[in-house]
Structure 1
Amino acid sequence: MQPVMTAQEIDTFLETDFPQLHIDGKTFTVVSVGPGAVTMQFTPNERHLRPGGTISGPSMFALADVAAYAAVLAHIGPVALAVTTNLNINFLRKPELAPMLCDCRLLKLGKRLAVIDALLYQSAPTEPLAHASATYSIPPR
């Protein structure tokens, strides 16, 4: 699966079509795009914390969802109406208040559905903070 959008093109699309994503400052950035893959960085701030100084589960869920969406866009083009139909997440370790990465891999890209595997980590992919799987519905062209 070869990408049809670059990291910069996806970032620009998200900023123009989903400005609410960065309402309190830019927190999501596409780091890289490759065949069947996308890596996104999430730079949390105080509003993403829960008691105990850890990044909240909903913030990690959002990273997995936005990164999976970016992976789909990277391979089908700027389709605003591709939507999440399912996302499951397993929280594995406690994250610190520090940038977090999400590596997404397209497992299947069909005409109507895309299935994505996502791994969230801070220091190294070998020590994941969470693992998610997502399914996106792709609208007819």
Structure 2
Amino acid sequence: MDIQALEALMHAELPMTAAWGVRVLEAGDGEARLRLDPLPVLLRPGPTLSGPAMMGLADMAMWAALLAISGGEDRSLTASLSMQFLRPAGNAAVVAHARLIKPKGRSLYGEVLITRAADGVLVAHATSGWVAVSPAGGR
């Protein structure tokens, strides 16, 4: 699945990705990189990108990595998401790099590094577990 098709699928299936302006930079081989330019609604006082926005981006990046290896047919569900905020992201674009560590089976697992786009400084680290769901919606 090419990047444009993956981004279009994400925007259609999870409208929040379109509303936030999330862009897919790369995807394949169990990894994905997404970019988020901060909208005023995503900022907290400071101003800096809010924690909920970074958690949402991390979740989106994991899903993108799963979609990339499944040809866009992934219906997995987030089971857990643990986030460590390392420093303020500021009021600038960030990039989330998701990497699947366990991409197959009923339980899936990966990590996401979120960096400032301008200088590559690490601002957050997430780990995430997912549960594979059959295409019909059952477990």
Q: TM > 0.5 between the two? A: yes
1:22 to 2:18 alignment: yes
With 106-115 and 58-67 compared, the bigger mean Cα shift is at 106-115
> Is the 2:96–2:115 Cα contact (8 Å) retained in structure 1?
yes
* Structure 1 residue matching 2:61: 3-state secondary structure: helix
Q: Give, in whole Å, the separation in 2 of the partners of 1:47 and 1:20.
A: 13
Equivalent position to 1:94, from 76, 85, 88: 88
With 108-117 and 91-100 compared, the bigger mean Cα shift is at 108-117
| Cα deviation code 1:70-110 (max 9, x no counterpart) | 11111123236311001100000111111100111110111
* Structure 2 residue matching 1:9: 3-state secondary structure: helix
TM-score scaled by structure 1?
Answer: 0.86
> Is the 1:41–1:102 Cα contact (8 Å) retained in structure 2?
yes
Q: Give, in whole Å, the separation in 2 of the partners of 1:64 and 1:20.
A: 13
CA drift at 1:6 = 2.3
1:111 to 2:105 alignment: yes
| Cα deviation code 1:20-41 (max 9, x no counterpart) | 4323xx5211100132211110
TM-score scaled by structure 2?
Answer: 0.87
Equivalent position to 2:76, from 63, 79, 82: 82
**Number of equivalences:** 134
> Is the 1:105–1:116 Cα contact (8 Å) retained in structure 2?
yes
Root mean square deviation of aligned Cα = 1.6
Equivalent position to 2:9, from 13, 22, 25: 13
* Structure 2 residue matching 1:11: 3-state secondary structure: helix
> Is the 2:29–2:68 Cα contact (8 Å) retained in structure 1?
no
Identity over aligned pairs, percent = 29
* Counterpart residue identity of residue 8, structure 1: Q
**Structure 1 residue ranges (4+ consecutive) displaced by more than 6 angstroms after TM superposition:** none
> Is the 1:113–1:137 Cα contact (8 Å) retained in structure 2?
yes
* Counterpart residue identity of residue 9, structure 2: F
1:69 corresponds in structure 2 to 63
* Counterpart residue identity of residue 62, structure 2: A
Unmatched 5+ residue regions in structure 2?
Answer: none
Q: Give, in whole Å, the separation in 2 of the partners of 1:130 and 1:101.
A: 10
